[in-house]
Amino acid sequence: MGVKLEIFRMIIYLTFPVAMFWVSNQAEWFEDDVIQRKAQNLPGKMEGLLPCDPASHASQEVCV
């Protein structure tokens, strides 16, 4: 039982940090969740971080 428990613990110790690193480096999740949440909480400081929506601007030059 002791060896099986140690193997299970080693798998958890190695898998958890790798999985957290992979999740935290997903750019799509970061853009969708973190930036949008910051835009809701800090509306005046987020002009350069949000992706441009061409439909909301009169000219396309602003979105370039």
Digit-coded pLDDT (tens) for 3-62: 999 999 999 999 999 999 998 888 787 777 777 788 788 766 656 655 665 555 555 455
Q: Structural domain tally of the chain?
A: 1
4 phi, psi to nearest 5 deg? -65, -40
Q: Is the pTM of this model over 0.75?
A: no
State which amino acid sits at residue 45. Answer: K
Could you give the C-alpha distances from 47 to 9, 37, 43, 57, in angstroms and in order?
Answer: 46, 14, 8, 13
For 16, the domain range is 2-63
Q: Which of 17, 18, 49, 16 is nearest to 34 (CA)?
A: 49
